[in-house]
Amino acid sequence: MPVGNSDLALLVGSWRLITAETTFSDTGERIDLFGTNPEGRMVLTSDARIMFLMAKSNRQPPTHDVERAILFDEMVAYTGLVRLDGPGRFITTIDLAGHPAWRGEQLRFYTIDGDRLTIRTPEQTQPRFPGRLGVGVLEWEREHPFA
């Protein structure tokens, strides 16, 4: 299922995470999901495979089970096939994820401004915050490895 000449072709490549935040619907509280300097990559291939890996920066190797659990909670990873769902909308059919709750279809809204990409979730619950609705916003910068 090649991306071809669709609007989704604009997303093909590697992107570096700049910010990752969620705003909770019940309180309006905004949190940085992975701290103020998150680490992460999004890669979309020309054959429509998308991969996300995002984590809190400055993570340290764990010394016991509690720290291992914290490391798991400070990271999100998933991959799947992506398809366009209208202007500024794509759906990822997630086939592998660090957290099983992410599997299945995930709708995302996006805008691109030059080398900046903004991806927004619809209002939804997240595995890290059971029972709380929120909207996530991820800001990305296109990587130019040979520039």
Number of domains in the chain: 1
pLDDT at 1: 56
- Amino acid making up residue 68: R
Q: Is residue 87 part of a domain?
A: yes
92-116 mean pLDDT = 94
User: Looking at the domain assignment, is residue 96 inside a domain?
Assistant: yes
Residue 125 has pLDDT above 90, yes or no: no
Average pLDDT, the chain: 92
| Tokens representing residue 121 in the block | 């979730």
Q: Distance of CA 34 to CAs 59, 68, 93, 95, 109, Å? A: 10, 16, 24, 23, 21
Give the structural domain span for 30: 7-142
Give mean pLDDT, residues 125-132.
84
Retrieve residue 101's tokens: 């709750």
Q: What is the CATH number of the domain that holds 87?
A: 2.40.128.280
Structure tokens at 130: 């059971």
- Confidence (pLDDT) at 54: 96
Whether residue 2 lies inside any domain: the answer is no
pLDDT above 90 for 4 = no
Q: What is the pLDDT of residue 53?
A: 97
Whole-structure pTM value:
0.90
Largest alpha-carbon pair distance within the chain? 49
Answer whether residue 35 is part of any domain: yes
Number of residues written out for the chain: 147
Better-scored residue on pLDDT, 5 or 72: 72
